[in-house]
């Protein structure tokens, strides 16, 4: 009888209702094992293969369809650091064709960012490097499988570092003072040190080091290019906000952060000063930026694109007026604007939402980088 009661208790426990996900929380995606039911008043919206989010505006709870995605088996590598700046290129310690976690010490990593490497089988000698950053709630593995950068690395022979955030609901630190200062600490320092390690140890071409990301990863792309202009030559920002725009923390909040809602409006000079203040005394050049945003983005208002344009055109001392605009680039609903001599590009997606990059658009960023 006692065994029977135990079994009944187990069954009752196993069918207990799952906890509903609050607005703007994750409700699905490749590798996600949590609840897929949203609070009443929200519905689970698939943004891409690796991330679905509860968004207000529809009756719930609603469950996200199951998605299937293949992730390369992850292994770990440990390498012995040397004092030389020239390695046996290209990155012989990294297995080719697999997503590999870096277990070697690569310098200060105060927020425990996890670093994963992808080296294609046909890696170039003295290869380029792309730092790729997931959105809130995501992981390196999910961004690896859900975006098209891996396939482009296979075609063109560059190496990718996928960072994986460890705090703030797996959102990147784009608000704390430490992360917004050169060598100040937090996520930005851990990522920068991983890239420095790659340059030193793996024969990376210093003139071909770039960063890209989606949503929170897009915000972090703006941070990395502002805080470490001595490392990165360019960035591609897919659905982000200007550097130092977000104010209510790194994770999504409800009601939305004023920046996310599109109500933060600064002058180009004010935006530019925030970038210049991130690395006091720096006198070198700044990375080129490619900025992407959909007009129907429900998470980060489309007006944020113009604030980013104001920020980076000011940093580059070029006009906020585009020198050219091309419709239907790279897809029929997108348009491309070029500023100055190409130091800044912006892309507007008519009707596009938050799930960027849209399939097939990643190549525009890789072409912009020259990888």
How many other CB atoms are there within 10 angstroms of residue 34's CB atom?
Answer: 14
Q: Delineate the domains of the chain, giving CATH numbers in brackets.
A: 18-69 (no CATH), 75-369 (3.40.50.1820)
Peptide bond into 357 cis (omega under 30): yes
| pLDDT in the model for residue 82 | 38
Give the integer Cα–Cα distance in Å for 81 and 127.
19
Instruction: Report pLDDT for 56.
Output: 56
**What is the 8-class DSSP label of residue 321?**
S
CB atoms within 10 A of CB 112: 11
Residues 311/268, Cβ–Cβ less than 8 Å = yes
Q: Along the chain (371 residues), what's the average pLDDT of each consecutive run of 10 residues?
A: 41 46 62 74 66 54 32 44 43 89 94 97 96 96 94 98 94 97 98 97 96 98 99 99 91 85 97 98 98 97 98 99 98 97 98 94 98 97
Task: Give the catalytic positions in this structure.
Answer: 215
Residue 48's beta-bridge partner residues?
51
Residue-level pLDDT at 57: 54
Strand partners, 290: 236, 345
pLDDT at 208: 98
Tokens for 180, please give them. Answer: 């917004």
DSSP classification of residue 100: E
Per-residue model confidence (pLDDT) at position 254:
72
Quote the CA–CA distance of 24 and 37 in Å, as a whole number: 12
């Amino acid at each position: 009888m006692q065994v029977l009661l135990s079994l009944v208790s187990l069954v009752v426990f196993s069918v207990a209702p799952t906890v509903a996900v609050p607005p703007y929380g994750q409700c699905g995606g490749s590798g996600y094992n949590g609840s897929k039911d949203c609070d009443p008043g929200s519905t689970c919206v698939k943004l891409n293969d690796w991330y679905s989010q509860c968004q207000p505006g529809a009756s719930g709870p609603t469950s996200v369809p199951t998605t299937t995605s293949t992730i390369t088996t992850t292994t770990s590598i440990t390498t012995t650091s040397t004092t030389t700046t020239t390695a046996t290129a290209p990155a012989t310690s990294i297995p080719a064709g697999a997503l590999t976690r870096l277990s070697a010490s690569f310098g200060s990593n105060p927020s425990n960012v996890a670093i994963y490497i992808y080296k294609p089988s046909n890696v170039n000698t003295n290869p380029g490097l792309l730092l790729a950053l997931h959105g809130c709630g995501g992981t390196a593995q999910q961004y690896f499988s859900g975006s098209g950068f891996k396939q482009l690395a296979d075609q063109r022979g560059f190496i990718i570092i996928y960072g994986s955030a460890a705090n703030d609901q797996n959102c990147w630190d784009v608000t704390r003072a430490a992360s917004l200062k050169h060598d100040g600490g937090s996520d930005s320092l851990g990522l920068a040190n991983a890239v420095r390690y790659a340059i030193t140890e793996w024969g990376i071409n210093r003139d071909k080091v770039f960063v890209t990301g989606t949503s929170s990863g897009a915000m972090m792309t703006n941070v990395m290019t502002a805080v470490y202009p001595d490392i990165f030559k360019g960035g591609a920002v897919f659905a982000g906000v200007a550097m130092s725009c977000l104010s209510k923390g790194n994770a999504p909040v409800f009601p939305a952060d004023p920046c996310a809602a599109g109500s933060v409006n600064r002058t180009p000079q004010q935006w530019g000063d925030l970038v210049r203040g991130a690395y006091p005394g720096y006198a070198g050049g700044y990375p080129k930026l490619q900025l992407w945003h959909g007009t129907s983005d429900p998470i980060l208002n489309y007006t944020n694109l113009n604030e980013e344009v104001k920020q980076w055109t000011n940093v580059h001392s070029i006009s906020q007026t585009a020198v050219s605009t091309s419709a239907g680039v790279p897809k029929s609903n997108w348009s491309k604007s070029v500023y100055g001599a190409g130091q800044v590009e912006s892309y507007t997606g008519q009707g596009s939402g938050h799930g960027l990059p849209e399939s097939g658009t990643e190549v525009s960023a890789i072409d912009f980088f020259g990888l």
